[in-house]
Amino acid sequence: MSFRKPSVLPGFGLTFGFTTFFLSAIVLLPLAALVLAAASMHWSEFVAVVSSPRALGSYRLSFGASALAASINLVFGFIIAWTLVRYEFPGRKLIDALIDMPFALPTAVSGIALTTVFARHGWIGRYLEPLGVQVAYTWLGVTLALTLISMPFSVRAMQPALLELQRELEEAAETLGAGRLYTFRRIILPTVLPALLTGFTLSFARAVGEYGSVIFIAGNLPMKTEITPLLIVIHLEQFDYRGAAALGVVMLLLSFVVLLTINLLQAWNRRRHVQAAH
C-alpha cells in the first residue's frame, strides 16, 4: 500500500480492514438495503409516495424545525460553552455534567417531560396560553424538543475550540484599539468558526433523525405537526414497507446533501486560512 505511513502503533493493514468491514456492515449495508427496498417500487409509485402533500409537509417540518433548532443551539450552545470555559463559578462542574443529560435520557422521557411543562395546563404552558402562544401540539413544540435533544452536540463540539482560544488574541486586539464587539466579530468568531459549524452540523443531524421526543409534544397532525420519521412509522404500521423505504431514501438524500454542503463549506474555509501552508 503506497499510502502507508510509519506509525508508532503497528497493524495498519488490520485496522484498515476493521474500518472498512465495520463501515460496510453497520452503515453501508443497511443503507443499501433501504435503497434496494425502495428500488423495487415502480417509479411513478415512488414519486406518488414521496411527493404527496402529506410527505412534503413532513419534510418541511422535519428539516425546517431541525435547522431552526440547530441555529438556536448555535447561539445558545456557544454562550453555554463560553460560560463553562471562561468563568469559574460554584456549580460549574455540575452544570457541565448537566449538559450531557439529554444524551443519557431516553428521548421519549424528554418528550413526556416537555409536554408536561408546555401543555395547555402545564407549568409554563398555562402562562403562555393567555398570551396566545401555544407550544405543545404545534411546530413550536417540535422545535423545542429538537433543540433540547440536540443541544449537547453543539456545546460539546464548541467547548474544545473555546478552550484552545488564546486569551492573548483578545488582549492583543484590545491593546490595538478594538472594542469588544469588533474583537468578537473579527477575531473570536473567525477563529472558532470551524467548531461552530461542526456543532451546527452535529445538532442538525441529530435533530433530523429524532423521533421519540417529538411524537409526544407534536400532536402529529398530518400536514401540520407530522415529522418525516413519524410518517415513516405510519407507513410501517400499515405494512407499507416500500412506502416507508421510499420516504427513508428521500430523508437520506436530503440529509446527505445538507451535511455534505456544510462539510465542503468547512473545507473551503480551512483552505482559505491555511492555503498552501506547507
Partner 1 sequence: MSISLEQVTKHYGGVPVVNDVSLDIADGEFFVLLGPSGSGKSTLLRAIAGLIAVDHGRISLHGRDVTHVAARKRGVGLVFQNYALFRHMTVADNIEFALRVRHMRARRRRERRKELLRLVALEGMDDRLPAQLSGGQQQRVAVARALAHKPEVLLLDEPFGALDAKIREELRRTIREVQRELGITTVLVTHDQGEAFAMADRIGIMNLGRLLEIGAPHDLYSRPATRFVATFLGAANLFLARQGGDGIQVGAARIATHEQSAEPREHEVVAVVRPEEVTVAATPAELGGGFVAQGVVDEMVFSGALERLRLRLENGGGAPLLATADAAAPPYLEVTRTQHEQRSFELHPGQSVAIGVRRVHVLPTPLSSFAACAASAPDAETLARQPLLTELAARMKTRIAVRCEPQLGMEQAGRGGAAAFVGATVIASEPGAAQRAAWLLQRGAREVLVLPAQAAVPHRVLIHWLGEAARAATLAVSESVLRHVPAEAVYAGIPPQGAADVAPELARRLAEAPAQLLIVGVTDLARFAERFSPLLDGGRWPVLVVHRATS
Which residues bind to partner 1, rule: CB under 8 A?
Answer: 166, 168-169, 171-179, 182, 186-187, 190-191, 273-277
- DSSP, collapsed to helix, strand or coil, labels residue 34 as helix
Cα separation, 174 vs 210, whole angstroms: 43
Q: How far is the CB of 65 from partner 1 (least distance, A)?
A: 32
Q: Which three cell numbers stand for residue 259?
A: 451535511
Of the two residues 61 and 165, which places its CB atom closer to partner 1 in the complex?
165
Of the two residues 27 and 169, which places its CB atom closer to partner 1 in the complex?
169
Query: Can you give the C-alpha Rg of the chain in angstroms?
Result: 22
Q: Which three cell numbers stand for residue 68?
A: 431552526
Q: How far is the CB of 186 from partner 1 (least distance, A)?
A: 8
Of the two residues 42 and 272, which places its CB atom closer to partner 1 in the complex?
272
How is 189-205 classified by DSSP, letter by letter? HHHHHHHHHHHHHHHHH
How is 66-100 classified by DSSP, letter by letter? HHHHHHHHHHHHHHHHHHHHH---TTHHHHHHHTT
Residue whose cell numbers read 473551503: 268
Do you know the residue count of the chain? 278
Cα separation, 239 vs 243, whole angstroms: 9
Residue whose cell numbers read 463559578: 89
Cα angle, residue 114 at apex, residues 228 and 141 outer, rounded to 5°: 45
Cα separation, 117 vs 138, whole angstroms: 14
